[in-house]
Amino acid sequence: MLELVDLGHNYGSYRAIDRVNLKVAQGEVVCIVGPSGCGKSTLLRSIAGLIKPTGGTVLLDGKPVDGSPENLAVVFQDYSRSLYPWMSALANVGLPLRRRGLDKKKRDAAAMNALEQVGLAGAAAKFPWEMSGGMQQRVSIARALAYQPKLLLMDEPFGSVDAQTREELEDLTLRVCAHHGMTILLITHDVDESVYVGDRVVVLSKAPGTVVGDLPVQLPGPRDQIHTRELDAFVRLRAEVGRLVRGITPQRNTHGNTHGYGYGVETR
Amino acid sequence: MRRATFGVLRLWIVPVTLIVWELVTRATVSPFFPPPTRIVEQFHAMWLSGPASQLLLTDRALETFGPSLGRLLLAWVIAGVLGVALGVALGRIRGVADYADPVLQFLRALPPPLLVPIFFALFEIGTATQLAVIVFGVIWPVLVNTTDGVRAVDKGFLETARVFQFSRYDILRRVILPAAMPKIFAGLRLSLSLALILMVVSELVGSNSGIGYSLLYAQQSYDYAGVWAHIVLLGVLGLLFNALFLVAEGRVLSWHAHARRTV
């Protein structure tokens, strides 16, 4: 349903992403992972129509995208700049539905339903600044749910919350969004997260970002924070993605190598 | 509790000043400086000895305050609406500011009282002229603050609006204006205090009603206690407007005060 063809973008003479080719099928959850500054956000902003890429095309359902496409929602990393502090959670979730031509009653009902799905029915009347970061990000997810987009973009959605909340939100995303059959493109710099959440992990290289790996994630059963993460398949895949992110070929040993981002690659 | 007590204690300066003022003015007996008790007496006689059904206000008070306050509030509302509308246009429509800015800076530099003769020529003596003087004088803080406010709307708010395809009206009404509201209110508050000043000025020059006119009349009849009573009245009105404004602001912008506290 989403296809990127030779997508590239320059900021002046700086090349952020270079000829990115990617196909995402309906209902897939694809994680894009890469080191800091590899143009992940540029990629997402191009798809969302927030910037006009300098090269290549974005096709949505076979049609080239110009401006912000219909039926697309974004969960931004920085919820404090994405939720409107002058509105309650319910109003924030319901606001995009005005475009759908629903009356106030139906909008509120749909917003309430979405808040229930993320476990925030009791906080509908609260304002964003009355909530924790994790709750605010759940409101953002509810807003995307209520909007019922065909494609959901998530830009490091769990980057600003603590570790426990992060796991909770990962599971919420899998349970709720994926359950709705939404196609999800999630951008992260966290190797673990990409493997845990994705049906597929796409690895971008350092800037200029280009696709250096595209790995299907085959993990049995419903995912679980503890069990899934200790599966051999999970560990192997995580190591493979980690190496790709750091730009290391598997032959070279990875011990003590620290250029790259954050996570130690375990070799078992 | 401690804070409240402290606040009350700090007010000791008020009674002390009044007592000293009273003693000095009684000792010196200058016609220009009547003792405060005399001023209060005059204030009461002119405006506050009316029937309870009028909240003790005399007919004279109603006749004097009514037109003044009516003009003040009407002019302030007009200036507010025009200021916000022009400010949004200047702040959000690309290119408009480049053309309009020099002209606006020029107009803004003109002291409004100097324009009274021109407004007379345009509107003749009367309410229209007074309104024009006040509006012209108080529109600037609203205009400048609105322009600033709508320019400074967080990019994140606007990108969200774009992604979810808000209509232009919704972007303006539900994103840009609320985001700029704290600045707009700061401008409106400044305008309100300016409006009080310009109301009096406009009535001193060309009017046959209102507080300014009444002040002039007291002065010309050598009623200096009356002149002082007018000064006290304007101070009280200023305080009152400010207090009411802050209450309204607290309601409309409660999200802002709270959001700032938690961030």
Domain B64-262 has CATH 1.10.3720.10: yes
Question: How many CA atoms, within 13 angstroms, populate the side-chain half-sphere of residue A120?
Answer: 30
Query: A264 pLDDT band (50/70/90 cuts)?
Result: very low
Would an 8 Å CB–CB cutoff place A11 in contact with chain B? no
Interval A51-66 mean pLDDT: 87
ipTM over 0.85: no
pLDDT, position B116: 79
pLDDT, position B191: 95
Asked if B159 lies within 8 A of A76 by C-beta distance, the reply is: yes
Give the closest of A82, A99, A127 to B160, CB-based.
A82
CA B156 to chain centre: 34
Looking at the complex, report in whole angstroms how far the Cα of residue A21 sits from the nearest Cα belonging to chain B: 23
Contact A203, A210 (CB under 8 A): no
Contact A187, A32 (CB under 8 A): yes
Q: Helices (DSSP H) in A128-223: which residue ranges?
A: 133-147, 163-172, 191-197
B165-215: per-residue pLDDT in tens?
999 999 999 999 999 999 999 999 999 999 999 999 888 877 788 898 899
Q: How long a stretch of residues is chain B?
A: 263
Q: Say whether pLDDT at B240 is over 90.
A: yes
Query: B96 pLDDT band (50/70/90 cuts)?
Result: confident
Interval B123-144 mean pLDDT: 88
Q: Say whether pLDDT at A226 is over 70.
A: yes
Q: Checking DSSP bridges between strand A14-24 and strand A211-216, what pairing results, if any?
A: unpaired
Chain A to chain B, count of Cβ pairs less than 8 Å apart? 74
DSSP, res A209: B
Average pLDDT, chain B: 88
pLDDT, position A154: 93
Would an 8 Å CB–CB cutoff place B163 in contact with chain A? yes
Residues of chain B with C-beta less than 8 angstroms from the C-beta of A139: none
Q: Say whether pLDDT at A263 is over 70.
A: no
List the domain boundaries for chain B.
64-262
pLDDT, position A256: 43
Residues of chain B with C-beta less than 8 angstroms from the C-beta of A87: 174
Would an 8 Å CB–CB cutoff place B169 in contact with chain A? no
